[in-house]
Structure 1
């Protein structure tokens, strides 16, 4: 039995998903709809939904999806009954860089089983990079988050830290991964009708997550991935914040460790160029 929690603001998507679930899930279930037209953050909405849940298996899911797998509920319960399992998802990453980043860290660490589409439902792209039925990951994308209620109760979504609609999945999954093993699975297929939006709100939320969760994950440091993640962070950070002494120092708290001389030199050159062209870059700051 599964309690499905949905933070909803698009009635047409919700109605289609509700009908789709009834035809495909294959097990007893309940849908807990939290009407949320932007009045509360998704952490608060999800926690409210989980409080109402009657069943031991929880699924937090976006409303702009459809299931393409029959009897997917049975498969999800099997995965969640694995004692080691923390979160079960359909997209995630097996590497956590030092710098603020989305779960899509680097191609070799990203594992996805999804049909990625658009809001017009005019086309979609099958993305299948999983290597086995359950692939070990740290971060899990928020489009599909399954977890046992007893395990959810130890972590819950961090509504004290995150008030909006970004970072909730990264924060939740990374905290869970400190105690349990998160998985991306390959036997439940969903179609998702929208992509992410890496705006200033996304950046600010991911900075909060990275500041609150130590980066001491059980992984071998990948210098190239660390360098790329840090340079990507600098690029988006200085898209929204001015280049000045205070902000340069702020970004350095996320400077990756265990880089070689070439990596250090490349990052130093990037800082030099930011400082050199600070005046012109600052004039074009994004306000979004």
Structure 2
């Protein structure tokens, strides 16, 4: 039995999903809709929904999706019943870099099973990178996150530090992964009609998540992945924040500890480039802020 929790602000998508769930789930469920037209963060909405849940298994999903798998409810219940299972998702990653990053770290570590589309509802395409039915991951994408209610109660969504609609899934799944094993599965297929939005709010919350979860997750460091993730962080950070001594020192908080000499050199050169062209980059940031 599943309690399905949705933070809703798009009636058209919710109505279609409500009908779709009824036609495909194949097991007992309740649908908990938290009306949320931007008045509260998704962490607060999800925690409110979980408090109302009466069933043992919780499923947090976006409303702009549709299920393509018949009888998916029983499949999900079976996955959650296995020992030491944390979160069950349909997209996630088995690597957590030192720098603030989304779960989409690298194709090498990403596991996904989803039909990806957009809000125009056209040309969805299958992304399938799982090799097994259950892939072990740390981070799980928030489009579909299932967990036993008793396990959710140990962690809950972090509404204290995370406001808005970004970072909630990364923070929640990383905290759960410290005690339980999260998985991406390949026997439940959904279609998602959104590609997300990585704006300044996304960056700020992603930084907060990494500061709140600063431990090393994987046993072995991957220098190439660490380098790419850190350079990506620098690019995102200096898109919204000016290049100055204070901000450069702040970014160094997330500098990867284990890199090859060549990767250290590449990052150092990038810093020198930012410093050399800081005036023009800062003017661009100011122009974008004014607009």
| TM band (smaller chain) | over 0.9
Structure 2 Cα separation of the partners of residues 185 and 168 of structure 1: 20
Specify the alignment match of 2:88 in structure 1.
88
Residue 207 of structure 2 is matched in structure 1 by: 207
Residue of structure 2 in register with 1:222 after alignment = 222
**1:246 equivalent in structure 2:** 246
Aligned to 1:184: 184
**1:1-288 to 2 correspondence within 5 Å?**
1-285=1-285, 286-287=288-289
| Residues 96, 215 of structure 1: 8 Å contact kept | no
Q: Hey, what's the Cα distance between the residues in 2 that align with 1:138 and 1:110?
A: 10
State the SS of the aligned residue for 2:96: coil
Q: Give the conservation status (yes or no) of the 8 Å contact 2:7–2:63.
A: yes
Q: Which runs of 4+ in 1 moved over 3 A?
A: none
1: distance between equivalents of 2:157 and 2:122?
33
Residue 120 of structure 2: SS of its match in structure 1?
coil
Please give the alpha-carbon distance, in whole angstroms, between the structure 1 residues aligned to 2:24 and 2:155.
29
Cα distance, 1:217 vs structure 2: 1.1
- Secondary structure in 1 matching 2:98: coil
TM-score (structure 1 length as normaliser): 0.99
TM-score normalized with structure 2 length = 0.98
**TM-superposed deviation, 1:83:** 1.5
Q: Distance in 1 between matches of 2:257 and 2:74?
A: 43
State how many pairs are aligned.
288
Structure 1 residues not aligned, in runs of 5+: none
Looking at structure 1, the residues matched to 122 and 267 of structure 2 have their Cα atoms a distance apart, in angstroms, of: 41
Q: Matched residue of 2:50: which SS?
A: helix
State the Cα distance separating 1:215 from its structure 2 match.
2.6
User: In the alignment, is the contact (CA less than 8 A) between 2:95 and 2:218 conserved in 1?
Assistant: no
Structure 2, unaligned stretches of length 5 or more?
A: none
List per-residue Cα deviations over 1:100-159 (Å, max 9, x = no partner).
Answer: 000000001000000000101111110000010000000000000000000000000000
Task: Quote how far apart the aligned CAs of 1:11 are.
Answer: 0.1
| CA distance in 1: counterparts of 2:76 and 2:219, whole angstroms | 27
